[in-house]
């Protein structure tokens, strides 16, 4: 029986934070040690250049993302770990898919529509102001990422579900035009993975600038935790765990029994200062050794590169023959 194929991409425009870790990296790494499916994880650097035009940030982020995943224990013997830009077949497939994708489908993409409505709200006379073709056809590139490896299950956040549905549409259209070629992918959204709140109480997100980076030095980690917003309840007062960012972050790392014990301390009236110190110590103990590995890996880009080159080779063993089959299907081949 053929194994199921699971694939996901990580856009390289920043350094991973606690929210990324809990919501995406940790579940993906845990899965990567199982042999029940084939796993493809990649650095989506050609997605990154759509939103970020600073080469230094793209480069540094690719390095940090790769180092983070390895430091946290990604099993690259099992999972195929590669860089999107190392697989030229993805770019070629992007054009092929672009040629059969209805413009109307892209008009309906949430990310594009949000950008247009921002322009309308700002009363700009150009609704497409600042919108590149890259942003507009982002879902086509994402479809190529997925369809290239016949991926079936795509673990993503809620905001990406529409993109996976678009990949299905595009795959279906291709199959209809040229015969069964692509596998129709499905989004997998894990309802159980925590969505962390950030320093200000909103969802932890790069775009809100409220994140706690995973591997900042100990002192800075402590400083950021001290900054997390709390209510103004006095020490000694019994406190609610529900809706408390400190508790929620603690819970995302702690075991069940530790969490229960902490609940009790809330009822008994733990002070915010004390809780922040606890949270810092807990996180720091948890992150200490991966942080050391992360820092060592940053000093050894040659090693990271070698891992990515191995991933590239394994990925291209699949993409090169499949692309030639696709080209053949559309009538582009040697005479
Ligand atoms: N767009 C995804 C995000 O921002 C990243 C991504 C790129 C991706 N290509 C992908 C995710 C393919 C899943 C499959 O999170």
SS (H, E, C) 177-211: HHCCCCCCCEEECCCCCCCCECCCCCECCHHHCCC
Are 73 and 86 part of one and the same domain?
A: yes
- Residue closest via CA to ligand 1's atom 13 equals 8
Residues 315 and 236 in one domain: no
Sign of the torsion angle spanned by Cα atoms 102, 104, 110, 114? positive
Q: State the distance from the centre of ligand 1 to the C-alpha of 11, rounded, in angstroms.
A: 7
Please tell me whether residues 160 and 249 are part of one structural domain.
Answer: no
Tell me the C-alpha distance between 33 and 17, whole Å.
Answer: 22
Any domain includes 115: yes
* Residue of the CA atom closest to atom 6 of ligand 1: 9
Asked whether residue 108 is assigned to any structural domain, the reply reads yes
Residues 310 and 326 in one domain: yes
65-99 exposure pattern, b = at least 16 Cβ within 10 A, e = fewer: bbbbbbbbebbbeebbbbbbbbbebbebbbebbbe
Do 170 and 63 belong to one domain?
Answer: yes
| Phi, psi at 155, each rounded to 5° | -75, 120
Kindly give the interhelix angle for 218-227 and 272-298, rounded to the nearest 10 degrees. Answer: 140
Same domain, yes or no, for 289 and 306?
no
199 located within any domain: no
Q: Ligand 1 atom 11: the closest Cα is on which residue?
A: 9
Is 146 a pocket residue for ligand 1 (Cβ < 6 Å)? yes
Position 128 in a domain: yes
- The pLDDT value given to residue 194: 75
Q: What is the CATH number of the domain that holds 172?
A: 3.40.50.620
What does the alpha-carbon distance between residue 62 and residue 14 come to, in Å, rounded to a whole number?
Answer: 8
Tell me, yes or no, whether 33 lies in a domain.
yes
Based on the domain organization, do 250 and 163 belong to the same domain? no
DSSP 8-state code for residue 10: E
| Best residue among 6, 7, 11 to mutate for probing ligand 1, ranked by most atoms within 8 Å of CB | 11
What is the longest distance spanned by two Cα atoms in the chain? 82
3-state secondary structure of 37: strand
Q: Residue 60 Cα, ligand 1 centroid: separation in angstroms?
A: 19
CATH of residue 251: 1.10.240.10
Q: Is the C-beta atom of 23 inside 6 A of ligand 1?
A: no
Q: Is there an atom of ligand 1 within 6 Å of 142 CB?
A: yes
Q: How many domains does the chain have?
A: 2
260 and 114 inside one domain = no
SS3 155: strand
What is the predicted pLDDT for the residue at 91? 98
What is the reported pLDDT for 1?
Answer: 59
Query: DSSP string spanning 224-291?
Result: HHHHS----PPTTS----TT-HHHHHHHHHS-HHHHHHHHHHHHTT--HHHHHHHHHHHHHHHHHHHH
201: in domain: no
Predicted TM-score of the model (pTM):
0.94
Q: Does some domain include residue 182?
A: yes
- Rounded Cα distance, 13 and 35, in Å: 30
Do the Cβ atoms of 205 and 211 come closer than 8 Å?
yes
Candidate of 7, 8, 87, 91 to mutate for ligand 1, largest count of ligand atoms within 8 Å of Cβ: 8
Q: Confirm or reject: Cβ of 44 under 6 Å from ligand 1.
A: yes
For residue 163, the ligand 1 atom closest to its alpha carbon is 1
Mutate-to-test residue for ligand 1 from 28, 156, 315, highest number of ligand atoms within 8 A of CB: 156
pLDDT at 2: 76
Secondary structure (3-state) at 213: strand
Q: What is the DSSP string of 126-146?
A: -TTTT--HHHHTHHHHHHHHH
| Average pLDDT by stretches of 10, the chain with 335 residues | 90 93 92 92 97 95 97 96 98 98 97 94 93 97 98 92 98 98 95 85 90 97 96 93 94 95 96 97 97 98 98 98 98 93
| Whether residue 261 is found in the same domain as residue 181 | no
Whether 131 and 271 share a structural domain: no
Torsion angle in degrees (nearest 10) through CA of 249, 255, 256, 258: -80
Q: Position of tokens 């016949």?
A: 150
Q: Which domain holds residue 228?
A: 215-296
User: Does 200 fall in a domain?
Assistant: no
Tokens representing 217 are: 């030095």
Query: Is the same domain home to 11 and 84?
Result: yes
For residue 25 the two structure tokens come to: 């990296």
| 128 phi and psi angles, rounded to 5 deg | -100, 15
Pair (242, 162) in one structural domain: no
């Amino acid at each position: 029986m053929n194994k199921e194929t699971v694939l996901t991409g990580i856009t390289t425009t920043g350094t991973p934070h606690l929210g990324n870790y809990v919501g995406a990296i940790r579940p993906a790494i845990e899965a990567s040690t199982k042999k029940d499916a084939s796993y493809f994880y990649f650095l989506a650097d050609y997605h990154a250049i759509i939103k970020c035009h600073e080469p230094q940030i793209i480069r540094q982020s690719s390095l940090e993302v790769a180092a983070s995943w390895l430091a946290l224990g990604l099993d690259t013997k099992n999972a195929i770990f590669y860089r999107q830009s190392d697989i030229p077949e993805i770019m070629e497939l992007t054009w092929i898919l672009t040629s059969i994708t209805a413009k109307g489908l892209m008009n309906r993409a949430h990310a594009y529509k949000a950008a247009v409505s921002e322009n309308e709200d700002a009363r700009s006379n150009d609704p497409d102001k600042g919108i590149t073709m890259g942003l507009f056809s982002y879902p086509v590139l994402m479809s190529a990422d997925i369809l290239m490896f016949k991926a079936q299950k795509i673990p993503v956040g809620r905001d990406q579900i529409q993109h996976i549905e678009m990949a299905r549409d595009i795959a279906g259209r291709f199959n209809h035009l040229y015969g069964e070629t692509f596998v129709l992918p499905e989004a997998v959204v894990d309802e159980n993975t925590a969505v962390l709140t950030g320093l200000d109480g909103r969802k932890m997100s790069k775009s809100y600038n409220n994140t706690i980076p995973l591997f900042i030095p100990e002192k800075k980690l402590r400083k950021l935790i001290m900054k997390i917003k709390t209510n103004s309840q006095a020490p000694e007062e019994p406190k609610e765990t529900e809706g408390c960012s400190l508790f929620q972050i603690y819970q995302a790392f702690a075991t069940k029994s530790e969490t229960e014990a902490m609940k009790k301390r809330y009822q008994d009236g733990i002070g915010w200062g004390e809780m922040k110190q606890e949270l810092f110590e807990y996180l720091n103990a948890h992150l200490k050794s991966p942080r050391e590995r992360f820092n060592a890996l940053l000093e050894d880009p040659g090693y990271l590169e070698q891992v990515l080159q191995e991933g590239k080779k394994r990925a291209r063993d699949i993409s090169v023959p499949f692309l030639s089959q696709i080209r053949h299907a559309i009538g582009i081949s040697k005479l």
